[in-house]
Amino acid sequence: MLTLAAPAFAQQIALHIEDIAAPTFQASGISAELESSRFTATIKQLSVQGHDWKNVRLTCPAIILERDTIACTQGTLTEEQSWPVRFSYAPGAKQLMLDLSLPAREHWHVEARWGKRWDIAANIDNGKAAHFRTWLPQDMPAPSAGVINGKLNFSGSDTNLLAADMDLRLAGIAFSDTSGLHAGEKISGKVRLTAHPVNRELVWQGEALWDQGEIYWDPLYLTGGARLSARGRLDPQRVTLAQASLHWPAIGDISASGSWDRTSRSLSASSFQGTQLALDPLYRSFALPFLGKTALAKSAASGKMDIAGRFAEGKIQSLDLTLDHAALQDKDGRFALRDVHLKLPWRAQAATSADFGVGGGQVLSLPLGGFTAAIQMQDKKFSTPRLDIPLLGGALGIENFQATSSPQGWRWEFEGGLTPVSMEQLSAALHWPKMHGTLAGVVPRVRYDAGKLTLDGALLIKAFDGTAVIQDLALLDALGPAPRLQANIDMRNLDLDLLTRTFSFGSMQGRIDVSVKGLELSNWKPVAFDGSVRSSPGDYPRKISQRAVQNISSLGGAGAAAAIQRSFLGIFEQFGYSQLGLSCVLKNGVCHMGGIAPAPNGYIIVKGGGIPAITVIGYNPSVSWDELITRLQRVTQGNSTPVVQ
């Protein structure tokens, strides 16, 4: 409705224009003045798609005023900024044409018609993406750079969208949010969408091409090179995705379908499938960003993967996963699995079995042989009755393995044992001095829950012709960047001859007991323990070589070297002893040392016995742990000398 009011004696006309209302466009508080041919109009509030502008001012120096049309060919539109504008408004026909010309060759042409049916059409040339900042929700990253070219067409009835046609080209788009956790740069591509009514539904199809640019969406970092095409239906209750295809050349092709409930705003059903996907870029881009604080943080994967899944009723209902000639390897060489094969058909409501096989691998330089396993699956429970992993001529046996997923994370447990492993092969694999004999053990029930691994009983190991028992073992944050280990260790009747020959320590005959109480490791480095080495009880030969005397004395400190009697030591190659012992209580980086008995200004490490006999005394009661480790690393150089009595 257009009304004119002016005194008979005035050259001025005041206009009142009724409010404009459409489902996506409203204007209210419109007032205007016409003086000669100069026209000025103010809109108190303008709303587009729920976003408001206040006190929008339009100035036209030469208005065209006809029976049912107001037009301007050279006007200025002012809100926070000023832009050249031309427009044509027909109140009776409820039509509006708006043409904006902005700097940098930016041009917007909008035509709108409202009433029982409404239409909005826009042509955009070099449109700045930053203009859309005010149209986006507050929690979405805001565009800050880039241009948009293309066209938009929407039509409908009342609040219902009946047809849509969108064809946009994006170039140099950049966006970010205040947290810095979501950002993009130099993004270019195309977006195409069409929709039309069929049997009271809106049938749509679209395509999006992302050919350049970078996106960081914490913790994911992705680069361009993907095409998505999709088609589906829209009704008042749901959005249906009939088919979607994602083509990512570096990874492969993934298809999906699904349904979104518009009332509950939730995914009611979906399915997806991918065949022969490349594991390397898939693992690097979508898995590693979530593994930054685990032992897998520096790992790499390779091979091919097939995957298919179905989601319904708010839960995953099925998952089929196949790995073919896959591999997982730590870049620091801590572990590796090669030639991995997996066929996993998981179902939420049925018991199934998966086939798993590994061609070979390694853990901390220890080579693993190939093995296979059948994994039983029932909902979120996984188990296997027996798994034997070949290791250095023996095998690590895992029995009754069970794993369960819970809201707090994964829980698993198993028991087993280690059949005799060649010590020679073990020392070669770890680049240690050559050791002799075998290593075997019995593994009690092992439990893992909430990042903590514990033993229910004692771990029994046979080595160096003796036994070792590990109790109260607990490993915390096992897959984290700084795992912590706690344990108590008792070793009995170890053969000194085997030990000293192994580490080039010098020849020693006898047996020893080793006790380590309250052991604590942080990132595999000792931070606390109460440890001791003592001669085992019993009747057996007790001899110590000149080389071993020198190395033992070096652990007792520099005072021993100052008191040496070189002439006496050089006469004999071996000495007798009755007892030996050394202890260390580690606390705050300092080792508080002791021996089998106190001595003047020190402690006895080796007590003489037989002919010839020798006693070794240590003089340093406290030693930095780092210094003690340095001494241990030097003992094979023979550059320390003992006290001889």
| The two three-digit tokens of residue 410, written as one number | 């994964």
Helix, strand or coil for residue 558?
helix
| Angle in degrees, CA 475, 479, 481, rounded to 5 | 100
Q: How far apart, in whole angstroms, are the C-alpha atoms of residue 635 and residue 554?
A: 7
DSSP 13-46: EEEEEPPEEETTEEEEEEEEEEETTEEEEEEEEE
> Ranked by mean pLDDT, which of 16-20, 218-222, 467-471, 631-635 comes out on top?
218-222
Please tell me the distance from the alpha carbon of residue 645 to that of residue 641, in angstroms, as a whole number: 13
CA distances (Å), origin 448, targets 231, 297, 412? 46, 20, 5
Tokens of 311: 């989601």
Reported confidence tier of residue 454, pLDDT bands at 50, 70, 90 = confident
Average pLDDT over residues 554-581: 60
Measured N-to-C along each axis, helices 546-555 and 625-634 cross at an angle, to the nearest 10 degrees, of: 170
Find, among 512, 517, 492, 483, the residue nearest to 500 by Cα.
Answer: 512
Q: Please state, in angstroms and rounded to a whole number, the distance separating the CA atoms of residues 318 and 307.
A: 11
pLDDT tier at 561 (50, 70, 90 boundaries)?
very low
Is the pLDDT at 133 greater than 70? The verdict is yes
**What distance, in Å, lies between the first and last C-alpha atoms of the chain?**
121
Residue 356 inside a domain? The answer is no
Q: Which are the contacts of 128, defined by CB distance < 8 A and separation ≥ 6?
A: 102, 104, 106, 146, 147, 148
Q: Once rounded to an integer, what is the mean pLDDT over residues 396-416? A: 89
Task: Provide the residue type at 155 as one letter.
Answer: S
Q: What b/e sequence results for 537-576 when a residue is b if at least 16 CB atoms lie within 10 Å of its CB, and e otherwise?
A: eeeeebbbbbbbbbbbbbbbbeebbebbeeeebeeeebbb
Is residue 552 in a domain?
yes
Predicted local confidence at residue 68, as pLDDT: 83
Does 19 reside within a domain?
yes
In a domain, 240, yes or no: no
Q: Which has the closest alpha carbon to 49: 127, 143, 149, 122?
A: 122
SS3 459: strand
DSSP 501-519: HHTT---EESEEEEEEEEE
Residue 356 clears pLDDT 70, i.e. is over it: yes
Mean pLDDT of all residues in 138-153? 90
Question: Tokens in use for 235?
Answer: 């009704």
Give the whole-angstrom CA distance, residue 498 versus residue 463.
10
The pLDDT of residue 357: 96
Which token pair is 482?
């700084």
Kindly tell me if the per-residue pLDDT of 62 is higher than 90: no
How many structural domains does the chain have? 2
Mean pLDDT score, 620-628: 85
For 609, the domain range is 494-637
Query: If you average pLDDT over each of 38-47, 59-68, 395-404, which comes out highest?
Result: 395-404
Mean of all residue pLDDT scores within the chain: 84
pLDDT of res. 145: 93
CA dist 123 and 325 (Å) reads 52
Contacts of 389 (CB under 8 A, 6+ apart): 368, 369, 371, 395, 396, 397, 398
Residue 501 maps to a domain: yes
Among 589, 582, 570, 567, residue whose Cα is nearest residue 618: 582
Among 145-154, 387-396, 599-608, the minimum mean pLDDT is found in 599-608
Q: Which of 309, 226, 311, 217 is nearest to 260 (CA)?
A: 311
Nearest by Cα to 535 from 585, 606, 471? 606
| Nearest-angstrom CA–CA distance, 644 and 632 | 21
pLDDT at 633: 64
Pick the last residue of a domain from 45, 77, 104. Answer: 104
**2, pLDDT greater than 50:** no
288: number of Cβ within 10 Å: 19
- Does some domain include residue 615? yes
Position 31 in a domain: yes
pLDDT confidence band for 212 (50 / 70 / 90): very high
Which of 78, 104, 130 is the C-terminal boundary of a domain? 104
Instruction: For residue 596, give the nearest of 576, 612, 578 by alpha carbon.
Output: 578
3-state SS track over 111-170: EEECCCEEEEEEEEEEEEHHHHHHHCCCCCCEEEEEEEEEEEEEEEECCEEEEEEEEEEE
* SS (HEC) of 241-275: EEEEEEEECCCEEEEEEEEEECCCCEEEEEEEEEE
Which of residues 9 and 576 earns the better pLDDT score? 576
Q: Provide the residue type at 288 as one letter.
A: L
Helix (H) or strand (E) holding 177: none
Rg (CA), the chain: 40
Q: What percent of the chain has pLDDT over 90?
A: 42
- Domain end point (choices 69, 104, 139): 104
- Is pLDDT above 50 for 187? yes
- Look at the alpha carbons of 354, 355, 361, 366 in this order and tell me if their dihedral is positive or negative: positive
76 located within any domain? yes
